[in-house]
Amino acid sequence: MTVDVSDVIRFISDRIGDYEKPESLQAWVEKAMKKLPSCRYALLGRKSESLSRQLGKELNQIEKLEGFSLMEKLQLVFIFSRPVSDEFVQMLKDANFEISQDEEKRINRFSTEDGSVVRFSGHIHHQKCFEGVFYPVGRKRRAPEVQGLKEEAGASGNQGIKRKSRSYQQEDVREEAFNGPIDYDELDKQEWVNPGFPKRVKMEYEVPATQTKISVISLVAHIETIATYFDLESLQNKASLAIEKMQNSGENKTLSVAKLNSLIDALLICIEENRIRRNDTSIPLKSILKHLQLYLIRPLGSEEALESITQKIQEIGGNNDEVPPTLIGELLNFLLISIGFCAQLD
């Protein structure tokens, strides 16, 4: 491996430690080529696609990568959706990581021994982020993936979706992830710091006072993420089709914050009215609310909706009520219909 490639991986690794969802490797390569002095030669004749492919090959042999901690290696292959070898899996198990893999041998879920770091992802090809912000990757798009990145504020984005300025800032993803049995009260109190990574400056989603619109494609992407977690394959496919439809049409569809707040209120009423006693298939009520809070409402940036669901979680307290296992799918189907994608549910 050349020194230049090693420098690029280090540059990227030092900046993705807190991210929990797959990122665009090529977008990060583009940034490294612009910011990293040792890579400036690449701008004179080497394309980012070439360097990206080379990095991909290195990440596919992550167990051989030198100068990186095991946690850093795991974060690299997870964030960039790379398959891993049986040797690397054994290294993780020996270090008491709990992991699972998908059919392509990518790590789709992992947690540290103490549970302080938990990640999960369906590694959906067109659902990527850049610097923690949803970054659409059109399935049929041929132009370079990094056109229209936010650091190129003056450039026009004609890839898939014609994107306008971001309506929200990056989320503090350290507070997002959770999976399996968790002490929710402790989760609310603790500061999320990943071992092996430098502490980052806290960043939060905020909606400016003048902001009145929510990106529909971002909303649908978050629905797809939750569907992936709960193994709702049918719903995941419907959300995927909705995203593809918007990308292909180039439509920058939005939803008013007021409408989003109304929809969230309706969801909370549905959840409240469908409480049941615990059984073999039921899902904890608090778990459903936490998923909606952390993976849907908070990223979209509506303070009113976030306050509503936070209040509902506080009201529940130690209540052990649960909900039917089909409820989360029904609620998310309702959201898709409400934002104009009834056709995807046929």
E strands, 140-232, in order: 213-215
Amino acid at 204: E
pLDDT tens column, 244-258: 888 888 778 888 888
DSSP, collapsed to helix, strand or coil, labels residue 189 as: helix
* pLDDT at residue 40 in the model: 55
Comparison of pLDDT for 118 and 69, the residue scoring more:
69
Q: Other C-beta atoms within 10 Å of 126: how many?
A: 17
Provide mean pLDDT across the span 135-150. Answer: 44
Q: CA 223, CA 243: separation in Å to the nearest integer? A: 11
CA-CA-CA-CA torsion sign (192, 193, 194, 197): positive
* pLDDT at residue 73 in the model: 93
* pLDDT at residue 343 in the model: 61
DSSP 202: P
Which tokens belong to 47?
């394309």
Residue with tokens 């909705």: 242
Least confident window among 4-18, 24-38, 125-139, 316-330: 125-139
Helix residue ranges, H only, the chain: 3-13, 25-35, 48-59, 70-79, 86-94, 184-189, 216-229, 233-249, 257-273, 285-292, 298-300, 303-316, 327-338
* pLDDT at residue 14 in the model: 92
Is the pLDDT at 94 greater than 60? The verdict is yes
Confidence of residue 76 (pLDDT cuts 50, 70, 90): very high
What is the β-pairing status of strands 107-111 and 283-284? unpaired
* pLDDT at residue 39 in the model: 59
pLDDT tens column, 191-238: 434 334 344 333 343 444 445 788 888 888 888 888 887 888 888 888
pLDDT tens column, 261-309: 899 899 889 988 998 888 888 888 888 888 888 888 887 878 888 888 8
Amino acid at 81: S
Contact 236, 122 (CB under 8 A): yes
Q: CA 164, CA 150: separation in Å to the nearest integer? A: 10
pLDDT tens column, 297-320: 887 878 888 888 888 888 877 777
pLDDT > 90 fraction of the chain, expressed in percent and rounded? 8
Q: Other C-beta atoms within 10 Å of 206: how many?
A: 14
Average pLDDT, the chain: 74
Q: Give pTM, 2 decimals.
A: 0.45
Is the pLDDT at 3 greater than 50? The verdict is no
